Chains A and B, each alone.
Chain A
């Protein structure tokens, strides 16, 4: 019958997987944009793509060391944020939404096109950039851990770096949101004109927030590619929507929300798809093929987004007073 052990253990793997960490950090970036500043950024996938390609291209094409490749990626994402922000931050919120989603698609199409194939690898993407990061690994060869959390030295190294980064950036965000800067940012979310009346340069603050959240997304993009290859089709608009689902699940204007949201999202997703796939195999759902079973979880994500935003827009940890987007 159904192998419950395997389902639970596969789901538990996701709890601390680097992918979960990457989504958590990307969602933290969105929390800065959307939750704290009220900016509707629908281009987080673009920031992640820039991080991934910035790191991979710097390493492969220019032969940069790890620190320089990371700085290149961050630099590129700052430029990207400036390009997005200059035309749209003075306009109404939905313009930023349309421009960011368009810009993220432009980025993906530029990485997909055959024109830049020698550098970007076009649709096949890039691989073979992990050497520098693996060389920094202080953990001796071997396998560590227990049960579902048993990994080799490289995999532990990715997990440790990823989660340390997530925790550091979360602490950083927590601190700056309590600082005077954070109060201005939250003020902009609540009432832009009031903040402007106090003599603050709202445009500049919004731009800083866009850059900060974008850099989080970029670093998330770098974490995301450490256990896999860079493939342009990973950076479709649905990636941004999944990150929104995580953010809304955890709570838009919270620090813990993105982290716990990402863990819940991935564990549930893995559990659900594992369960459905095995239930189909076991013949419990005779009207469904195993391919259809794989799509069911995305339908569920979509429905979950709708239900959360209508019935619990503050998410698990959020406070309803902190939500300017709920009237």
Chain B
């Protein structure tokens, strides 16, 4: 459908680009002198190479201007007929890679992640950088429309944040542990989805179910192998927290060990946005919000209506009293770990679509926002975590209306500090909890 759309809108400008490209290809083949913008710049001069492939709906786009800046140099490169480009850079520092949207064909824009990307080399000397193109028009949008659009993006982000935050909050409530390894439970879900969809070849929905089941298994395994024995030993809370930091570090590099330093895409990521009035949402965003809402409602039902859910809240409130009333505290904690890990895994999958991309450190990038959400809502309160997450999600997205987008997480973290100053127990927390 979209292919025919672009074909129909074959504009004179496209033709010019096409002809220009044709001429440059001819020139290259006949004179063998590189034109001002080759599709490879500085690749034989420098050791480190950024490479990319600019495509829209599977069709390569030619003549798109890519600028790589950083390390004191600026490289300009235009994509070749196959849509590919390569730019060499002298060292391994972080670079800013800009796609000039003006050079894209009409009706094609950078759909997600923005036209300016930051990229850094992992341990390899070639780093692929990809932009997500989608159908759309570059028009200046009124402030109200931008606000509404950002609001829905923020809601989407807040909901997926809430999935992770509720798990973290339940674990904190029942065991007192601030679990830094939650970040790796988030990454695990996304990585497993990637492994089972792209590498094993399962359909993506099945891969997600497998990944969530494996995440739940990870939660079970971590509690069985590490946390339960440590509880038995009577290890202090701060020690447990440091253990979780060590675990987080170890797991993160285990992920990098197996997955490498690159960012991968899950199948279907980067689908074009659909327009609903001022709101731009991709089908994936909508499905993601739907899944989040349904799962959050299910968790609420579990906590409020089921026996085990009530037992969980009882343990959260007072473990000794709960134990004295005949609740099997260890069993409740085990269930909380399994539930928390499964929710974190799901959150990781949705986060992989939202960012977009799967990478070994993705969970850690989100962890502080999860902590901010949990603290905002009130440590240890499940519904506080939900409220806090939505506030953080909205804040992160709405702040981009005023702040540059590379500072959007700063706003959320500043709010965290301000809330602690004014209302330390959090929005839904009780005062006695702050000790």
Determine the main DSSP class of B at the interface with A.
Answer: helix
- A115 contacts across to B, CB distance below 8 A: 404, 406-407
Measured between alpha carbons, how far is A327 from B251 in the docked complex, in Å? 27
A139 interfacial by beta-carbon distance below 8 Å: no
Is A13 on the interface with B (CB-CB < 8 A)?
no
Closest to B404 in A: A115
Query: Which B residues between 181 and 235 are near A, CB-CB below 8 angstroms?
Result: 226, 230, 233-235
Assembly CA distance A325 to B236 (angstroms): 6
Contact status B242-A248, CB under 8 Å: yes
Interface residue? B48 (CB, 8 A): no
A241 and B434 CA atoms in complex are apart in Å by 25
CA of A244 to CA of B249 in the docked complex: distance in angstroms? Answer: 12
B178 at the interface (CB under 8 A from A): yes
- When the two chains form their complex, are residues B375 and A95 in contact, meaning their CB atoms are under 8 A apart? yes
Contact assessment for B413 and A105 in the assembled complex, using a CB-CB cutoff below 8 Å: yes
- Knowing A86-B421, A99-B420, A115-B404 are in contact, say whether A92-B435 is a contact too (CB < 8 A): yes
Point out the residue from B124, B238, B250, B257 that lies within 8 Å of A306, measured CB to CB: B250
Q: Are A102 and B238 in contact (CB under 8 A)?
A: no
Do A326 and B239 touch (CB < 8 A)?
A: yes
**Interface flag for A82 (CB, 8 Å):** no
**B240 CB, nearest partner CB in chain A, Å:** 9
Within 8 A of A (CB), among B412-435: 413-414, 416-418, 420-421, 424, 434-435
Q: 1/0 contact trace for A69-113 toward B, CB 8 Å? A: 000000000000001001110111111011101110110011011
Q: Which of B100-108, B335-343, B364-372 contacts A (4 or more CB under 8 A)?
A: B364-372
CA distance in complex: A91, B250 (Å): 30
Contacting residues, chain B, for A95 (C-beta < 8 A):
375, 420, 424, 434
Partner of B368 from A105, A294, A309, A325 at Cβ < 8 Å: A105
Known: A87-B421, A109-B406, A313-B239. A302 touches B371 (CB 8 A): no
Q: A291-B124, A302-B250 are in contact. Are A112 and B406 (CB under 8 A)?
A: yes
A97 cross-chain contacts in B, Cβ below 8 A: 178, 241
Bound form: Cα–Cα A289–B379 in Å: 43
Name A's interface SS. Answer: helix
Q: Is the CB of A106 within 8 A of B124?
A: no
- Contact call B94/A98, Cβ cutoff below 8 A: no
Taking a contact as CB atoms under 8 Å apart, the answer to whether A325 and B248 are in contact is no
* Contact partners of A292 in chain B: CB under 8 A: 257
Q: How many B residues have CB within 8 A of the partner chain?
A: 59
Q: Mark A23-61, 1 if CB is under 8 A from B, else 0.
A: 000000000000000001000000000000000000000
User: Closest residue to B123 on the A side, CB-wise?
Assistant: A291
Given contacts A113-B407, A123-B95, contact A302 B434 (CB under 8 A): no
Chain A neighbourhood of B72, CB < 8 A: 124
Judge if B71 is at the interface, Cβ distance under 8 Å: yes
> Is A309 touching B123 in the complex (CB atoms < 8 A)?
no
CB pair A310–B404 under 8 Å, yes or no, is: no
Contact B406 A113, beta carbon cutoff 8 Å: yes
Contacts of B267 in A (CB 8 A): none
Q: Is the CB of B93 within 8 A of A93?
A: no
Mask, B37-52, CB within 8 Å of A = 1, is 0000000000000000
Evaluate contact between A87 and B417: CB separation under 8 angstroms. yes
Does A153 lie at the interface of the complex (its beta carbon under 8 Å from any beta carbon of B)?
no
Shortest Cβ distance from A233 into B: residue:
B94
Residue of B nearest to A101 (CB): B368
Report the minimal beta-carbon distance from A318 to chain B, rounded to whole angstroms. 13
In angstroms, Cα B379 to Cα A109, docked, is 25
B250 x A105 contact (CB < 8 A): no
Contact A306 B434 (CB under 8 A): no
Is A303 at the interface (CB under 8 A from chain B)? Answer: yes
Asked if B70 contacts A309 (CB within 8 A), the reply is no
CA distance A92 to B243 in the complex (A): 19
- Is B96 an interface residue when CB atoms closer than 8 A count as contact? yes
- Asked if A309 and B239 make an inter-chain contact with CB atoms under 8 angstroms apart, the answer reads yes
Asked whether any CB of chain A lies closer than 8 Å to the CB of B126, the reply is: no
Judge if B120 is at the interface, Cβ distance under 8 Å: yes
Chain B nearest CB: distance from A307 CB in Å?
8
Find A295's partner among B120, B233, B239, B257 (CB 8 Å cutoff).
Answer: B257
Which residues from A are CB-within-8-Å of B424?
87, 90-91, 95
| CA of A327 to CA of B239, assembled, Å | 9
Residue A152 interfacial (CB < 8 Å): no
Q: Is the CB of B178 within 8 A of A110?
A: no
Judge whether B251 and A310 touch: CB under 8 Å: no
- Cα–Cα distance between A91 and B423 once the two chains are bound (Å): 11
Does A172 make an interface contact (CB < 8 A)?
A: no
Contacts A112-B406, A298-B253 given; indicate if A325 touches B417 (C-beta within 8 A): no
Q: A319 an interface residue at 8 Å Cβ cutoff?
A: no
In the complex, what residue of chain B is closest to A238 when comparing beta carbons?
B249
Does the CB pair B409–A123 fall under 8 Å? no
Residues of A within 8 A of B241 (CB): 40, 94, 97
In the complex with contacts A113-B404, A299-B250, A40-B238 CB distance below 8 A: yes
The interface residues of chain B lying within 8 Å CB-to-CB of A105 are: 368, 409, 413
Pair A124/B417 contact, Cβ less than 8 Å? no
B420 and A110 contacting across the interface, CB-CB below 8 Å: no
B118 at the interface (CB under 8 A from A): yes
Is B20 part of the contact surface with A, judged by Cβ < 8 Å?
no
**A305 contacts the other chain (Cβ, under 8 Å)?**
yes
A68 at the interface (CB under 8 A from B): no
Complex A-B, nearest 6 residue pairs according to Cβ-Cβ distance, in ascending order: A302-B250, A305-B246, A302-B249, A123-B94, A306-B246, A87-B421
Task: Give 27 A-B contacts (CB < 8 Å), ordered by A residue.
Answer: A40-B241, A91-B434, A93-B238, A94-B178, A95-B420, A98-B416, A102-B371, A102-B416, A106-B414, A109-B410, A114-B406, A123-B70, A123-B93, A125-B93, A291-B261, A298-B249, A298-B250, A299-B250, A299-B257, A305-B242, A305-B245, A305-B246, A309-B242, A309-B243, A310-B230, A326-B236, A327-B236
Interface residues of A (CB under 8 A from B): 40, 83, 86-88, 90-95, 97-99, 101-103, 105-106, 109-110, 112-115, 122-125, 231, 233, 237-238, 241, 244-245, 248, 291-292, 294-296, 298-299, 301-306, 309-310, 313, 325-327
Known: A92-B434, A294-B123, A296-B253. 9 other contacts (CB 8 A): A91-B424, A102-B372, A112-B406, A123-B70, A248-B242, A302-B248, A302-B250, A303-B250, A305-B249
